[in-house]
Amino acid sequence: MFLAGSAIAAVLIGGCVGDNPAPQDHINRTVPPAEASALIEEKKQDPKFVIIDVRRPAEYAGGHIPGAINIDSAHLSGRLESLDRDGTYLLCCQRGGRSAGAREVMEKAGFENVYEVKGGMSAWQAAGLPVTGV
């Protein structure tokens, strides 16, 4: 039993420290609202930085992060070809569920710099961060 466990551990460790480490320039993760706000400030002059609100249009119209565009999560897959895979994206929804799914869709499609706002617009507003379109 011990030998079998040791063999499995060796394979797992070998797979993690092989000759081809994962590129360090790939960033796909969830960030709290304050960090998302700092990212927006840092990237505001970058034409390849896009904030995408993945909520339904009526939700978006009720208030969103300034500068965000609206791509309903239900239609995101069909819009991926119009997005630059080399860009940096910040995704937001109402509470974090739809943006997590959207981030996964984008990752599988080859997007390498995708962030999502932890807790979505609910957390963004609770943090007192700016909202437009209200």
pLDDT tens for residues 75-102?
999 999 999 999 999 999 999 999 999 9
92 belongs to the catalytic site: no
The burial class, CB within 10 Å (0-12 / 13-18 / 19+), for 1 is exposed
Q: Is pTM beyond 0.85 here?
A: no
Query: Tokens at residue 97, please?
Result: 């569920």
Mean pLDDT of 100-105: 96
pLDDT value of residue 10: 39
Which of 93, 102, 114, 121 is the catalytic position? 93
At 31-43, the pLDDT tens digits run 999 999 999 999 9
